Amino acid sequence: GTHIICDRKFLLECKNSPAARTPPCCLPQTPGVTSLAQSSLVKLEELKERNESKEAMPDQDQFEMDI
């Protein structure tokens, strides 16, 4: 058989080529696989809002004790 030998430098340069950065033209749109599902986008927005609201809250003790 024929072996194709590529050096490390060539492979790293291929990673940055414009062809490697764009998806194939005839790739089917599959939510959650080739594109983010709409529910995933909503979940990401909710997580961002929760994180922002947690950061806005003042520090509180984890447990309150009545003495």
Of residues 48, 18, 15, 21, the one with CA closest to residue 6 = 15
pLDDT for res 36: 64
Please give the structure tokens belonging to residue 52. 């922002």
pLDDT in tens, 11-30: 999 888 888 877 777 878 77
Query: Shortest CA distance to 41 belongs to which of 51, 31, 30, 27?
Result: 31
**Percent share of the chain, pLDDT over 90:** 6
Q: Could you tell me the pTM of the whole model? A: 0.31
Q: What are the helix and strand counts (H, E) for the chain?
A: 3, 0
Measured between its terminal Cα atoms, the distance across the chain in Å is: 81
Q: Read off the pLDDT band of 2 (50, 70, 90).
A: confident
